Structure 1
């Protein structure tokens, strides 16, 4: 199979990897990847940069602007990682990137509030640097999630560790302005299977059979007070800066939180196969057609031309079609970042 990656949206720092710095509102093919990219990929997005890793864990790339690097790149370039480290998951805060394998976690970028997790003496580095003595003995790292200024790490034991900004209690108690090294979140009464990070909150989910849910941090936009008591049957979940989205096994979705730019799930959406949640928008693949749609704040073109709104402010509520699959095509991945959208298409012979 052949994979083609498309991007659209905010591109002022080259974070779309299109060899220029202009915003685009229609999907454009990313041309800086190897022609032999034949496996599905994962995307993590910071404020002005994007990290790509292949599912086979053999390729890692970065594009855009990530302090303290002196200049942005406008195309994906290979990351220099210590051998034999090959990341299996990644996440990005606003100006930091985290790459993890089961037994190692690396960070780089700029993190004045502890976003790097490397201790109070290292707040900025352009070189991927391993967090010492992490994960704890007899555990593996399962996944990472980040938002503006904090990161949560899920371990094989079902425990979660976190670091970065903590003034609102989003990384557990005690609530402090900054936590510079991974700290166990103690107040979780269940085994965690999914972690989500918003701007000033963290959402922890138990298994789909129980639907356990716990939200830590700020209640702005009713993110805690409007939350359901459980989310049994969840298939996937994601968080924007001020909202949470749950995709259930039957293809339905539930959302709550901030809705001033149409972020909540539109009534006319239909059943969803897969989704990705950005800072203030969502990208989804529809079950019935296989097409890719988006909704929410689309000022930079990340929700397509219709999502720009009549005044160009992105306040165009409703579902917007951003990619219509052709014969012999299938969407194998979607991604979403800070006003950026990503679509990976597999083309099969026909």
Structure 2
């Protein structure tokens, strides 16, 4: 019986969706419509965190080691070359550092060390690497601007980056034409050196988020601020704007929507027709059955989850996912590449449970979900894991 219990508590990693750049880690260059159990990461030990980008993935181990795989044509994998990686591989340039946070953007990557140093690589054509130029880099390079700061987080979007430093100040760099840098009341084409985001003074920021041309920040009080491209066709926002009147504990950004998990466990969405994914009158009518009428700020509460306790939310480019306390993983939105894991390429307006041919028992394995632009990962974390 002891052996069975030990086997149950082994970490499991599953992937599905778009895979033609090797981002699923299956060793195949093809899409997968159902969850695939991965074995390619087992030799590296447990994985504590994943970040999924446009078509690449960055993995972090509890000891601060970094792995990457998938699309690498812009150098975003950090392996010293601009080629795709079919299998997970250690980022050798970071082996001398204990990395505590990573972020995968569309074609660039960021890494934060235990000592508060920031490293970036990949596409730099909009200044999104923060090195004062628009050059791309195929190996992680330290961002000198933050030498006198202790960086805590980086969030990489489509063509911009946000950085959170100790003390709560947020900095932006890269493309700013939709207001996603939050540095001015006017349009800023791009910046190659970090500049402080305005409008967040005297607010204790806990997390920053970036995807597409959107930016967001979650503060210690549970308030969420958003800026950048306007949701649902609204005007672009150049200075962080408070999402009211609710208090949240998690946020997840897509290309056209933001998912918000409230303190009481309810899920809200801003953008699109409740899921921020699919447009059209028919889709809007279907979504009216799932969501309340938006409030003055455009925020909608999702009815399809009534009575369920939500533990985690995640958003890809145009799909969404969440974890329920019974171990269920649910997805909805754009499904063209099989990123919903439901066995087909159908779009879904409401949450559907993903079948893993096994049941996640929260007493043994607690699933966490991570979304890339058109693909999804689930990591089953041992319940007693400290990571």
Deviations 1:6-27 (A, max 9, x none): 1111101001110011100111
How far does residue 134 in structure 1 lie from its aligned partner after superposition?
0.8
- Cα deviation 1:199-257 (Å, max 9, x = unaligned): 2222223223xx4333222224156799742432x221111111111112322111111
* Partner SS state of residue 204, structure 2: coil
How far residue 148 of structure 1 moved from its aligned partner, in angstroms, is 0.8
- Counterpart CA distance in 1 for 2:265 and 2:340 is 21
Identify which range, 12-21 or 179-188, moves more after superposition.
179-188
Q: 1:336 is matched with which residue?
A: 371
Q: Counterpart of 1:319 in 2: which secondary structure?
A: strand
Is residue 242 from structure 1 mapped to residue 256 from structure 2 by the alignment? yes
**Residue of structure 2 in register with 1:111 after alignment:** 124
Q: CA deviation at 1:55?
A: 3.1
Q: Provide the rounded CA distance (Å) in 1 between the counterparts of 2:271 and 2:242.
A: 9
User: 1:19 is paired with a residue of what secondary structure?
Assistant: coil
- Whether the 8 Å CA contact 1:170–1:200 is kept in 2: the answer is yes
CA distance in 2, matches of 1:271, 1:151: 32
Pick aligned residue for 1:19 from 21, 27, 31: 27
Contact 1:19 / 1:74 at 8 angstroms: preserved in 2? yes
Which deviates the most, 8-17 or 183-192? Answer: 183-192
Partner of 1:173: 183
2:71 aligns to what? Answer: 65
Separation in 2, partners of 1:131, 1:36: 28
**1:154-173 equivalences in 2 (<5 Å):** 154-173=164-183
1:76 match: secondary structure: strand
Could you tell which deviates more after superposition, 62-71 or 326-335? 326-335
**Whole-angstrom CA distance in 1 between matches of 2:242 and 2:348:** 26
Which residue of structure 2 aligns with residue 267 of structure 1?
303
* Structure 1 consecutive aligned stretches of length 4 or more whose deviation exceeds 6 Å: 223-227, 262-265
1:129-140 counterparts in 2 under 5 A?
Answer: 129-135=141-147, 137=148, 139-140=149-150
Within 5 Å, which residues of 2 pair with 1:8-157? Answer: 8-35=16-43, 37-38=45-46, 40-57=47-64, 59-66=65-72, 67-68=74-75, 69-101=81-113, 102-120=115-133, 123-135=135-147, 137=148, 139-157=149-167
Q: TM-score, normalised by structure 1?
A: 0.87
1:325 aligns with 2:359: yes
Counterpart CA distance in 2 for 1:20 and 1:334 is 21
- Contact kept in structure 2, 1:25 and 1:305, CA below 8 Å: yes
How far is 1:265 from its partner?
6.8
What is the SS of the residue equivalent to 1:123? coil
SS at match of 1:188: coil
The answer (yes or no) to whether the contact 2:226–2:243 under 8 Å persists in 1 is: no
Paired residues of 2:323 and 2:367 also in contact (CA < 8 A): no
Supply the distance in 1 between the matched residues of 2:348 and 2:314 (Cα, whole angstroms): 19
Name the TM-score, length of structure 2 as normaliser: 0.79
User: Mapping of 1:257-296 within 5 angstroms?
Assistant: 257-258=271-272, 259-261=276-278, 266-269=302-305, 270-287=308-325, 289-296=326-333
For structure 2, the residue ranges without an aligned partner over 5 or more in a row are 1-8, 76-80, 288-299
RMSD: 2.6
| Contact 1:266 1:319 (8 Å CA) reproduced | no
Contact kept in structure 1, 2:321 and 2:332, CA below 8 Å: yes
- CA–CA separation in structure 2 for the residues paired with 1:307 and 1:198: 26
Return the structure number with greater helix share.
2
Residue 25 and residue 205 in structure 1: after superposition, are their counterparts in 2 closer, same or farther (change >3 A)? same
Corresponding position: 1:297 with 2:334: yes
**Structure 1 gap ranges (5+):** 310-314
